[in-house]
Structure 1
Amino acid sequence: MPRDGSADAPALDPQQLWLGSDQPRKGRKPAYSREAITAAAVALADAEGLEAVTMRKVAAQVGAGVMSLYSYAPDKETLLNLMVDHVTGELPTAYALTGDWRADLKTTARLQRAHMLRHPWLPAALTTRRVPGPNTLAFLERVLTALRPAGLDGAAKLEVFAQLTAFVAGHVAHETAQAALTQSPDRAAAEARYLAVVAADGKHPELAEALATPGRPLTPDATFARFLNRLIDGLDTG
């Protein structure tokens, strides 16, 4: 019997997952669809976090028995792939391109950030290898088109896309954690006091100098823009 995250589950077959039918081949007409089950899993993750997504909870969401779900998603790995591609369908695949590939990559990153903030579980879901589904491939195609003026070869363009996505995912994960910290002012104040003591102990002169530097705007948008500019403007196309 399949289990959530089972180590001995059959290897995921991308062709069967993305190019095959989304309905069980045998038996009577199914009462559910893979789309509905995936949407229920996404809603659960949006509301309670990725750790809350289990086959049992998803089954309860759609009013199905756990065993019936295995016909659509035999394990949690498959379900996560379905979830990632499902929400990726929200990203535009025809946004305007300027011909300035650096500017267009920054537009791409801003779209990705807004998307991941809507689905805070997504950065964690992207930390392990995912098999790109049709929505992911459509978005990737747009990004590769945006990169055409850069003169990179195909492998390098794929690497840039992976690097950009990893940057946005990591930044959003940090941004989400920082937002949670602001809800706990006592903890934030305690961390600030700790850093002030460390900076004054004479053992960390570089840190002391860095902390003494006049601060830059710390709004989430401004911080993301600074980090993104450093990444994109520093890309080497040689």
Structure 2
Amino acid sequence: MAGRAAEPEVIWARPERTGRGPRPAYSRGDIAAAAVRIADADGIDAVSMRRVAAELGCGTMSLYNYVPRKEDLYELMVDAASAEYELPDAPSGDWRADMTGLARQTRAIMYRHPWLSRVMTTAYGFSPQALRYLEWCLGCLEPLDVDPGLKMQLIAMVNGTVMATVRNEQAIAERSRGLPWSEAEEQAVRGAYLMGQVSTGAYPHLAALLATSAGPVDAEEVFEQTIARLLDSFAPRGA
């Protein structure tokens, strides 16, 4: 099939363009930027080799000389988005603060590019920007006195927590779009239903919990607390 590699390969191990001919007219950066613009404007489903080629002003088949598979195109896009991390020249020495800052950046990047949650995968963990990110994370975790394997788990769990949080927030926002009522009205109706169920006495533990509730949950505060508790769980006792 056209554009399908005969065996597994890594896009980063390939030359920028295969085949003979004049100097490549486009770089991988150009291709990734075009695909990201399309996804940001119209969603990931709008990204196709044909659409990207049209954005660049080249033929669809010629694009396969640069990017053999659509999966490779997604990897280029994820790498381009990952370039948005602002990483200082050196960690601060406070691993909790550094990892918290990275978690905030990940969340912000995913909001700038809502399609990321659809294509993000650990298979893309070897791209130039992914390796840059991982190297910086390991550097900021040097003061943490735990096994290297636990440090990798920490990085993975922070990323997974941020992605799950953003996906849930985006799903709620997507569901609310187009409805003839506001999110506040929706939550008020659901809250009233919940209180009605709890008042039956069938859920005593939930009733006790709600009786001590401080009111509406602040998403930003919950995010910060979640990351803080996750990081604390990796700290050696007494640290």
Instruction: Report the TM-score when normalising by structure 2.
Output: 0.84
Give the C-alpha shift of residue 170 in structure 1: 0.9
CA distance in 1, matches of 2:196, 2:16: 59
Specify whether residues 157 and 25 from structure 1 end up closer, same or farther in structure 2 by C-alpha distance, changes over 3 A only.
Answer: farther
Q: Residue 150 of structure 2 aligns with which residue?
A: 156
Give the C-alpha shift of residue 95 in structure 1: 5.9
- Measured against aligned partners, the alpha-carbon deviations of 1:78-110 in whole angstroms (never above 9, x if no partner) come to 111111111111112326633222222112211
CA distance in 2, matches of 1:73, 1:194: 52
Once the two structures are superposed, the pairs formed by residues 48-127 of structure 1 within 5 Å of their partners are 48-94=42-88, 97-127=91-121
Specify whether residues 49 and 192 from structure 1 end up closer, same or farther in structure 2 by C-alpha distance, changes over 3 A only.
Answer: farther
- SS of structure 2 residue aligned to 1:149: coil
Counterpart pick for 1:171 among 146, 165, 187? 165
Q: Residue 13 of structure 1 aligns with which residue?
A: 9
CA distance in 1, matches of 2:103, 2:233: 15
Q: Residue 40 of structure 1 aligns with which residue?
A: 34
Tell me if the contact between 1:41 and 1:53 (Cα under 8 Å) persists in the aligned partners.
Answer: yes
- Measured against aligned partners, the alpha-carbon deviations of 1:52-84 in whole angstroms (never above 9, x if no partner) come to 222222222222222122112211211111111
Q: Residue 137 of structure 1 aligns with which residue?
A: 131
Give the C-alpha shift of residue 216 in structure 1: 5.7
Tell me if the contact between 1:113 and 1:172 (Cα under 8 Å) persists in the aligned partners.
Answer: yes
Structure 1 unaligned regions, length at least 5: none
- Measured against aligned partners, the alpha-carbon deviations of 1:11-44 in whole angstroms (never above 9, x if no partner) come to 5422xx2143212342334333322111111111
Tell me if the contact between 2:103 and 2:158 (Cα under 8 Å) persists in the aligned partners.
Answer: yes
- SS of structure 2 residue aligned to 1:232: helix
Give the C-alpha shift of residue 111 in structure 1: 1.7
Matched, 1:218 2:214: no
Specify whether residues 22 and 197 from structure 1 end up closer, same or farther in structure 2 by C-alpha distance, changes over 3 A only.
Answer: farther
CA distance in 2, matches of 1:194, 1:9: 54
CA distance in 1, matches of 2:88, 2:215: 34
Tell me if the contact between 2:198 and 2:206 (Cα under 8 Å) persists in the aligned partners.
Answer: yes
Tell me if the contact between 2:91 and 2:98 (Cα under 8 Å) persists in the aligned partners.
Answer: yes
Tell me if the contact between 2:154 and 2:231 (Cα under 8 Å) persists in the aligned partners.
Answer: no
One-letter amino acid of the structure 2 residue matched with residue 172 of structure 1: V
Specify whether residues 161 and 224 from structure 1 end up closer, same or farther in structure 2 by C-alpha distance, changes over 3 A only.
Answer: same
Specify whether residues 76 and 206 from structure 1 end up closer, same or farther in structure 2 by C-alpha distance, changes over 3 A only.
Answer: farther
CA distance in 2, matches of 1:154, 1:78: 30
CA distance in 1, matches of 2:190, 2:121: 28
CA distance in 2, matches of 1:174, 1:72: 35
CA distance in 1, matches of 2:68, 2:236: 42
Give the C-alpha shift of residue 150 in structure 1: 0.8
The alignment covers a number of residue pairs equal to 232
CA distance in 1, matches of 2:140, 2:8: 31
Identity of aligned residues (%): 39
Q: Please, what is the CA RMSD of the aligned residues?
A: 2.6
Specify whether residues 13 and 131 from structure 1 end up closer, same or farther in structure 2 by C-alpha distance, changes over 3 A only.
Answer: farther
Structure 2 unaligned regions, length at least 5: none
Instruction: Report the TM-score when normalising by structure 1.
Output: 0.84
Specify whether residues 25 and 187 from structure 1 end up closer, same or farther in structure 2 by C-alpha distance, changes over 3 A only.
Answer: same
Give the C-alpha shift of residue 154 in structure 1: 2.5
CA distance in 2, matches of 1:87, 1:200: 48
